[in-house]
């Protein structure tokens, strides 16, 4: 079971090309019929990833230089989420995403509370699922 490793064996390094190009998709194949330009989705994902990386680096810098005290990873995640939420709730944050996706928009024209226009009617009150045999008080 614990046989010595032969010196003839060596690990081979493999190189992979990771494409940043979007995977071609067939919108008709999607059961939800979501038709969004895959290139636009890729740009948005990249912008969000860059934004997340930037927030992470800034928090790490504040902790390392001693200007921010943290007691736990939980607190770090809470602060990270608050910071990201603050950015995404601002005209600057939404403007950054728009610019990263190729749009040039005046910051004062950015709608921070866009209306969600569902094409299907959604009930405003949903009933929780019931379980059979559950006792009611």
pLDDT single digits (tens) 77-100: 999 999 999 999 999 999 999 999
What gap in Å lies between CA 44 and CA 6, rounded to an integer?
49
| Most confident segment among 41-45, 86-90, 117-121 | 86-90
* For range 62-76, the mean pLDDT: 93
Q: Which residues contact 16 (CB under 8 A, 6 or more apart)?
A: none
Q: In the block, which residue shows the tokens 């950054």?
A: 96
pTM: 0.59
Where do the structural domains in the chain lie, given as residue ranges?
A: 38-109
Write the DSSP symbol of residue 109.
Answer: G
> Does the structure show a pLDDT above 70 at 126?
no
pLDDT at 129: 55
Q: Tokens standing for 131?
A: 């379980």
Asked if 59 contacts 79 with a C-beta cutoff of 8 angstroms, the reply is yes
Burial of 92 by CB count in 10 Å (0-12 exposed, 13-18 middle, 19+ buried)? exposed
């Amino acid at each position: 079971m614990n046989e010595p490793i032969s010196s003839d064996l060596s690990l081979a390094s493999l190189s992979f090309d990771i494409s940043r190009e979007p995977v071609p998709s067939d919108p008709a194949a999607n059961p939800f019929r979501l038709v969004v330009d895959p290139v636009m989705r890729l740009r948005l994902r990249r912008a969000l990833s860059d934004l997340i990386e930037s927030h992470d680096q800034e928090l790490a810098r504040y902790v390392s230089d001693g200007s921010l005290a943290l007691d736990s990873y939980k607190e770090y995640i809470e602060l990270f989420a608050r910071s990201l939420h603050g950015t995404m709730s601002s005209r600057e944050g939404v403007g950054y995403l728009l610019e990263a996706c190729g749009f040039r928009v005046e910051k004062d024209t950015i709608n921070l509370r866009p209306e969600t226009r569902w094409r299907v009617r959604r009930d405003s009150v949903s009933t929780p699922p019931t379980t059979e045999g559950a006792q009611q008080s």
